[in-house]
Amino acid sequence: MNLKRETQEIVGYPYRYALFYNFPGGLRFELSEGGNPLDQVLTALRKATAVCEDVFANEKTILVHLLTFLPLSKFGLRRKLRELHVAGITIPEVRELWLDVEDQDDDEVFYWVNCAFEVPVSKVQNLIWCAVTTDFGTSLSPNPHCRVYLLNPSDGIVVHPYDDRGMDVISKHKSALAGLYERHKHLLLSHDIEIMRRTFADS
């Protein structure tokens, strides 16, 4: 099993940010609704979990793709692993690690550390927590401070809760997302609803 290849080929080519805008035909969900940080995270957790329960309803495992930015000290890496462990996520021995390079306009080169592995589908809520707490510093824990992508290779779906505010869901197959559009229409981000309506209203 080549986990890196699975993550890169599931929607045709590698993804990193703004999935809804970079992969036309996806869904963007609105998560938190204001309030104190804990209220925001709990609301985001509830909404994202409802969508993910549909995405992974027929699956026993989730393919997880974690992404974090270099430079990363040994201390920083240990902290991320500790926070994941506290969140109930243990990276298994069967995993894949790789670096991606990002060139900047000023000729600087930056690196991203990728880690892909599988976990039981029962861990979906734990992983969503890790994703939606990412912007809250140390005020909410556990918080491994990394991007979290949840993949369903069977249906070709990538789920990215990018922070407490929202979550993108993309796929190469429009049919894989049509049911999510109908069942969770009330959670879709109103700012982009017309784009999604044009894609799915006639499905």
Predicted confidence band at 101 (pLDDT cuts at 50, 70, 90)?
confident
Answer left, alpha or beta for residue 192, where phi above 0 means left and psi between -120 and 50 means alpha: alpha
pLDDT at 75: 76
Lowest mean pLDDT among 6-20, 58-72, 103-117: 103-117
Tens of pLDDT, residue by residue over 179-200, are: 999 999 999 999 999 999 999 9
Structure tokens belonging to residue 34: 């204001």
Distance between CA atoms of residues 203 and 199, nearest Å: 8
Mean pLDDT across 126-133: 97
Is 33 part of a structural domain of the chain?
yes
Predicted confidence band at 202 (pLDDT cuts at 50, 70, 90)?
low
pLDDT at 103: 65
Residue 104 has pLDDT above 70, yes or no: no
Is 203 part of a structural domain of the chain?
no
Burial (CB count <10 Å: 0-12, 13-18, 19+), residue 58: exposed
Is 14 part of a structural domain of the chain?
no
Is 173 part of a structural domain of the chain?
yes
Highest mean pLDDT among 116-120, 134-138, 171-175: 116-120
Distance between CA atoms of residues 167 and 111, nearest Å: 24
Is 13 part of a structural domain of the chain?
no
Mean pLDDT across 28-43: 94
* Beta pairing partners, 147: 67
Answer left, alpha or beta for residue 159, where phi above 0 means left and psi between -120 and 50 means alpha: beta
Predicted confidence band at 102 (pLDDT cuts at 50, 70, 90)?
confident
Q: What is the DSSP letter of 190?
A: G
> Into how many domains does the chain fold?
1
Is 110 part of a structural domain of the chain?
yes
pLDDT at 91: 94
Is 143 part of a structural domain of the chain?
yes
Strand order of the sheet with strand 147-152?
27-30, 166-171, 157-161, 147-152, 61-69, 109-120, 95-103
Is 126 part of a structural domain of the chain?
yes
- Residue 50: domain span: 3-8+19-198
Predicted confidence band at 71 (pLDDT cuts at 50, 70, 90)?
low
